[in-house]
Structure 1
Amino acid sequence: MVQNCCVVYCSNRQTRGASFTFHTFPWRDSNRLAAWISRINRKNPDGSDWYPKPRDKICSAHFVEEDFFKEHAHAWLKTDAVPSIFPNFPSYKQTHVSRKKQNSCNPSSQSEPILPISPSTSASLDHVFNYPSVEVYLQSTKIEPDLSFEKAIEAYDSTKNSTKE
């Protein structure tokens, strides 16, 4: 049976010659299981909290190299490993890992912060299209990213109307 990674936005599958491995959830360690589920940050289609099934697996692409114990051609996750790499997640869904090894990271690996665009620096920002990304628009208008599309449009229209008055 072909195994798929259970992380949303991850398309890794188990195939011959694949450079990643698949790992089961830490069922016997409830604290670590809760940390994995929290980091995966997945919801069911009805909006309820997602809980992994016994056959669900997560691929090695979501762990840092220090999370593995390697011996010969095999790699195992260490007992304190928690998934921390989610490259395809939208930035507002990313959860940041605070680990000793990552606290001493080099400055070149840090991404530059997104600076909000103020109306004084731009002649006209009447439309969301004038922002470089949805995240910048949401930050500059203080709209929570988990609002529905209709509520976001309403909030945008109300902020637009209040700035004209």
Structure 2
Amino acid sequence: MPHSCAALGCVHRCTVQTRSRGITFHRFPKDQELRKQWEEALRREGFCATQSSTLCSEHFRQEDFDRTGQTVRIRNGAIPSVFSFPAHLQRPVATRTSRTSKKAPESPSVDGSQPVQETEPLPVPNVDHSYALPTSPDDLRARLSEALARVESLEREKRNAKDRERRAKNTLRGLLEDLRGKNLTNDELKDDLNSDLPVHLLSKQGHEYTKDQKEFALTLHLHGPKA
């Protein structure tokens, strides 16, 4: 017949199923004083442990076990302390009601005349600022993901801008070669184009085109609408 746990309300029995769940069973100690402490810990009125009485491992703390050997054992002097007792067996928590205990929480004064003022708590940092780190690891990871996505977007815009600039230069070079081939360029246009491609005349810096950009566009148009 399998052993049952002697704790009040515990339904664990020493079977293959319980052992597969890691639950072990332990006999009451032979030492009379320690055995009595185990019996009192159960809070079962009139209970007296026998040689076959056991307690399951669910009623002990992790530090109560000795797992150094092949067999799980209870450390010497350990007492079961993990139980779920009904309301009528719950022990009331002792409260401090004496005059001395009531005065104990009060802070003593330095000179005996006035109580010491409590220090104000440190202000909690405002996490709404963009430079403040979030307190939650999940929020921190989210902020990092947003920052990486922003960097990737900016790098993509930079690559697209460089591609547009390269295409504009190639288009302008082709137009200039076409003008040179047709002898449609004058000295003024040659002076503007001999040094290098006027990139500053091809990009709009503000809301309106500059005077130089307008004059350059008119000059190209006069020599050829295609330019």
TM-score (norm 1): 0.49
Q: Between the two structures, name the one with larger relative contact order (CA 8 Å, sep ≥ 6).
A: 1
Q: Normalization by structure 2: what TM-score?
A: 0.37
Larger radius of gyration: 2
Write 1 or 2 for the structure with the bigger share of strand: 1
